[in-house]
Structure 1
Amino acid sequence: MRLAYLVAAGSLVAGGLAIASLMIASLAVVRQIVRTDAPRRERLRVLAVDDVSSSPYTVTLPLNAATQAPGQYAIWFDSGRGYAQLGAVLAVDERASIVTREVVSARGTPLRAGLSARWSGVVPSQAADVGLPFTAVIVSTALGLAPAYRFDAPIDRPPASTWAIHIHGQGASRASPLRGVPVAHRAGLTSLVVSYRNDHEAPSSRDRKSMLGQTEWRDIDAALDYAVAHGAESIILVGWSMGAMIALQLTRSSQHRKRIIGLCLIAPVVDWRSTILAAGRRARVPALVTRLALGALESPLWRRATGLQESMHLLDLDWIDNGSDLNVPTLVLHSFGDLSVPIALSRAFADAHTGLVELVTLPPAPHTLEWNRSPHRWESALSDWLYRVQLSRSPWRSSE
């Protein structure tokens, strides 16, 4: 009934667009929302590389808002076979529209002029570059064996009974949340950096689609099994983007929810419906098409067309209006510069959970690049919050 009404309204509001066209357009939106194989296009051109024999050397790139932003970033090139971590901006030539940055380190294909590249906030890009001892471990999930990185707490402290579980976002990998591991380590925590279904590291589900956190939390719950089996008594979840939604779902559904004593959410998705509607407006997708797509995600009748194994329950993925059961201290780190997940949603989330959610607004940065733009402020906010949470922790509170 609801879908039929929207389609009928669309035929009027959209000025006679065919129903079939609306259906096709909405399905295209759905496929973009749930796809896990989006191509990573290398849109930048490496213009010059200077003095490779010295350390550090420099790279010159086209000038834009991202390439001239202060902070620590990276570029991937040669179809992902090369990687370079970039440091400070050394020169900007606005007339020539170019920027020169320091190259801190590089690996893989040698960096050279003429290569296509992709801008990235993944710094560092592999566990070995975090600068801390780690072990590659395996988490047994319902779908199979999922790889994880384990960073033990400092050896000069008592064995850590509190673990941090770091959860990446949609379309990302375990490399993305490595940025948060040093802070957790300094706070005396053991860190487990996890993978989950359809992220191209963990086993895939049959449909190979993202369920936006609705099912992915089960793989992270298996990671909590691993942590508890290896000595974790209390757990702090560190979730990035969609990883924040997964963390929130765990506070509601995990068998270990009594042990969860805090959440740190970075550029979080806290309400998928509002996030998708905002993305549709930004992309100038007609509102009717976006709303039809939301209906298709939820409708069992559209499952064959969407390719999903099960329908979405978007109300359960709304922690602003449907999150009254949230009962753990939560830190949100977010930026006004995030155009993918509006900070207004984080504000609404904090307002809905006054006294429980602390929102720290960071300088303008694109989605999940708050640490890259302001690493000292980001780490200071998280470090202070971790200290306060551990000081007042109560791992065996009620889970009602």
Structure 2
Amino acid sequence: MRVLVFIGVLAVVAFAGYVGIAGYFLAHAAAGLLKVGPIAAVLATATPPTDPLALGYRGDPATALALPFQTVTLTTPLGPSEAWLVPAAGQEAGRAIYVHGIAGAREDGYRALSLLHEAGWSVLLISYRNDTDAPPAPGATYGFGLTEWPDLEAAVAYLAPGDSDRVLVAAESMGGAILGQFLHQSPLASRVSAVALDSPAISFAAVIGHLAAQGEKPLPGLIAWTARQMLPFMSPLPLARAEVAAVYQGFAGPLFIAHGAGDRIVPIGPSQSLAASRSAPTVSLWTGADHLGSYAEDPAAYRAAFGDFLNRIAP
């Protein structure tokens, strides 16, 4: 009997050790994702694409799409931040702001810009803290929206300066987290009348769970839970508050959301649950694409869905 008890104790210790060690390394990796530098190195390509609608393209709107633009300066809490304003051609149908994802750039918004400009919208493509044309954040870390949303607030104040002014915000990847925190915390949130999301990172916990599942280790759910308990000791950010699905669920304006089932960075599940839970007008596009790849997988379907979304926005 004592031998059986001893074996049982060893099994429990081994199990706890496995979960603890695996959870530690996952938490360490998750915290590392929010450091400035590593993600950019992974996303960088040896030869940037020449197609302005491909991720990684770099060049201003005139070079990329032959569109006239102005370089404007936004006043953010950390200092001046550069943005590109592409005015509508002819009568303006509306105003929009584009927010890129982690370690991205304004140019990542050219897919959205091409669709919006064609429909008569003026578009502001912004930079935010830790971008090349914006101030660095203390600690050289990304905040999964918790720290970046005031930079979006500066953009909303610029493009919609009056209480009666309204804008559409298009946000991708971590940009979805930034916009969610803005809608939750900013006194200017009511100036956003419509939202367009692509591969939105609306739950940090879900991203951790997605990373755990891709590790192909036993008990990924328990490992992810353990990692979440350890994160407060590895990051000063209150990452338990980096959850904005409920904010978008309660958003009363029209919402567009596109996401691919093959996304290796942000899981599609929270996006699908969000779309299913909304009672306000919602246009969704589900593909098999990787992160931010839905447009490239089927441009015609993307354009049709986005056009349907724009048609739902009242002048």
So what's the TM-score if we normalise by structure 2? 0.83
**Bigger Rg, which one:** 1
Shift of 1:197: 1.3
Other structure's SS at 1:133 match: coil
Q: Could you tell me which residue of structure 2 aligns to residue 141 of structure 1?
A: 76
Task: Choose between structure 1 and 2: higher helix proportion.
Answer: 2
In structure 2, the CA distance between the partners of 1:187 and 1:211, relative to structure 1 (3 Å rule), is same
In structure 2, the CA distance between the partners of 1:344 and 1:22, relative to structure 1 (3 Å rule), is closer
Distance 2:244 2:224 in 1: 17
In structure 2, the CA distance between the partners of 1:185 and 1:323, relative to structure 1 (3 Å rule), is closer
Task: Choose between structure 1 and 2: higher strand proportion.
Answer: 1
Is it true that 1:338 corresponds to 2:260 in the alignment? no
* Structure 2 gap ranges (5+): 1-10
Q: Could you tell me which residue of structure 1 aligns to residue 15 of structure 2?
A: 15
Shift of 1:182: 1.7
Q: 2:240 aligns with which of 304, 307, 313?
A: 313
Shift of 1:277: 0.5
Distance 2:24 2:104 in 1: 28
Shift of 1:130: 2.1
Distance 1:260 1:381 in 2: 20
Contact 1:124-1:130 at 8 Å conserved across structures: no
1:135-183 deviations in Å (ceiling 9; x for gaps): 11111100011111110111x21xx373111000112111111221121
Is it true that 1:260 corresponds to 2:192 in the alignment? yes
In structure 2, the CA distance between the partners of 1:324 and 1:336, relative to structure 1 (3 Å rule), is closer
Contact 2:19-2:223 at 8 Å conserved across structures: no
Q: What amino acid sits opposite 1:149 in the alignment?
A: W
Contact 2:204-2:239 at 8 Å conserved across structures: no
Contact 1:124-1:178 at 8 Å conserved across structures: no
Q: 2:170 aligns with which of 238, 244, 247?
A: 238
In structure 2, the CA distance between the partners of 1:187 and 1:272, relative to structure 1 (3 Å rule), is same
Other structure's SS at 1:15 match: helix
Distance 2:273 2:256 in 1: 14
Q: 1:277 aligns with which of 202, 209, 212?
A: 209
Contact 1:139-1:226 at 8 Å conserved across structures: yes
Q: Could you tell me which residue of structure 2 aligns to residue 164 of structure 1?
A: 96
* Structure 1 gap ranges (5+): 1-10, 44-74, 87-103, 105-119, 392-400
RMSD: 3.0
In structure 2, the CA distance between the partners of 1:209 and 1:361, relative to structure 1 (3 Å rule), is same
Identity among equivalent positions (%) equals 22
Is it true that 1:121 corresponds to 2:26 in the alignment? no
In structure 2, the CA distance between the partners of 1:248 and 1:21, relative to structure 1 (3 Å rule), is closer
1:49-90 deviations in Å (ceiling 9; x for gaps): xxxxxxxxxxxxxxxxxxxxxxxxxx942xxxx43426xxxx
Distance 1:181 1:223 in 2: 16
Distance 1:123 1:380 in 2: 24
Q: Residues 41-190 of structure 1 correspond to what in structure 2 (within 5 A)?
A: 76-77=45-46, 82-85=47-50, 121-123=55-57, 125-127=59-61, 128-154=63-89, 156-157=90-91, 160=92, 162-190=94-122
Other structure's SS at 1:171 match: coil
Distance 1:275 1:20 in 2: 19
Distance 2:124 2:107 in 1: 12
Q: Could you tell me which residue of structure 2 aligns to residue 290 of structure 1?
A: 224
In structure 2, the CA distance between the partners of 1:311 and 1:14, relative to structure 1 (3 Å rule), is farther
